[in-house]
């Protein structure tokens, strides 16, 4: 902006300003002024008729976890409710076999309690024991759903007059562990799209294993078959099966298979067909059972018969 002094036309000491331009308000200035007005409108207390008063809010009772602080004149919220802060641990209700543990926490401002799920339920544990070793007294009965999602079909207890049996875990196991239960895999164990038990051959190469029939030997015989023929269909299907986190399924021995037949009323989906056992009869033949008549026979290992996986514990 320039200044020009014309001394010829003005009295002495009076100057004329040329090229003077009228000031303009910028958009930023207007926005700032408007924001100030809006801010005042929202922070100033309003009278009942909507007119703005000249004073600010009068705070009411202090805010709590669940209650906001409001103006005692107009009721407007000044400070929002704080919400709970459950940071103080108080106690634990221990987990059981069937229920999760519960932890109690407390708000550090108002002592309001909160329950949280703690340690997950233990689940029953029958390792080498008829009753649950966690101390809950649980026992399985015929027809119960077992820990592998199948059906209990054999119980060794005093009521049945059966003594616990020795379960051999792998092909070279000669010591074993004590077991009380046999569990059959559920319907559809082999294929969810074809729920019937599969028809499979015992083997293609006729592996020659030690002959065993007793309850508790099926798992070891299954492992011995696979040690000699890793894809022997009947044994492989059972050994490869996993359900409910249990991967210890096997092809039943001759005596285990007979117990499955005796108690088939408790087990769904068992057709009146011939079923393979893992017990060898000779180098070329293996034992099977007719689930219509209950008779046990032996045929060539390359024959196709039904298969139902079981487990023991």
Which spans in the chain are helix H?
27-43, 218-228, 233-240, 254-262
Distance CA 101, CA 95 (A): 4
The residues spanned by each domain of the chain are: 62-123, 151-312
pTM for this one? Answer: 0.74
The string of pLDDT tens digits covering residues 236-253 is 999 999 999 999 999 999
- Whole-number percent of the chain with pLDDT over 70: 82
The string of pLDDT tens digits covering residues 181-211 is 999 999 999 998 888 999 999 999 889 999 9
Distance CA 133, CA 124 (A): 8
Rounded to whole angstroms, what are the CA distances from 101 to 131, 235, 274?
A: 22, 40, 47
What is the reported pLDDT for 33? Answer: 41
121 pLDDT higher than 60: yes
Indicate the pLDDT class of residue 28, thresholds 50, 70 and 90: very low
The string of pLDDT tens digits covering residues 63-110 is 999 999 999 999 999 999 999 999 999 999 999 999 999 999 999 999
């Amino acid at each position: 902006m320039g200044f020009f002094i014309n001394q010829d036309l003005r009295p002495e000491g009076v100057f004329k300003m040329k090229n003077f331009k009228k000031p303009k308000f910028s958009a930023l200035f207007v926005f700032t002024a408007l924001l100030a007005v809006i801010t005042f409108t929202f922070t100033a207390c309003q009278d009942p008729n909507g007119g703005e008063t000249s004073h600010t809010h009068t705070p009411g009772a202090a805010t709590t976890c669940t209650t906001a602080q409001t103006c005692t004149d107009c009721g407007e919220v000044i400070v929002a409710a704080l919400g709970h802060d459950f940071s103080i641990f108080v106690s634990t209700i221990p987990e059981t076999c069937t229920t999760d543990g519960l932890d109690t926490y407390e708000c550090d401002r108002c002592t309001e309690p909160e329950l949280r799920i703690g340690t997950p339920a233990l689940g029953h544990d029958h390792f080498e024991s008829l009753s649950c070793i966690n101390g809950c007294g649980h026992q399985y009965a015929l027809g119960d759903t077992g820990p592998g999602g199948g059906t209990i079909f054999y119980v060794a207890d005093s009521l049945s007059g059966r003594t616990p049996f020795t379960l051999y875990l792998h092909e070279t196991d000669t010591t074993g562990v004590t077991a009380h239960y046999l569990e059959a895999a559920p319907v559809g164990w082999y294929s969810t799209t074809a729920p019937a038990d599969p028809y499979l051959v015992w083997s293609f190469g006729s592996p020659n294993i030690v002959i065993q029939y007793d309850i508790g030997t099926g798992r070891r015989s299954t492992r011995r078959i696979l040690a000699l023929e890793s894809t022997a269909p009947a044994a492989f299907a059972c050994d490869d099966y996993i359900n409910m986190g249990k991967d210890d399924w096997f092809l039943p021995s001759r005596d285990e298979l007979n117990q499955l037949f005796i108690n088939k009323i408790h087990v769904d989906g068992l057709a009146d067909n011939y079923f393979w056992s893992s017990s060898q009869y000779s180098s070329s033949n293996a034992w099977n059972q007719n689930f219509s008549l209950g008779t046990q026979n032996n045929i060539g290992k390359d024959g196709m018969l039904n298969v139902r996986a079981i487990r023991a514990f």
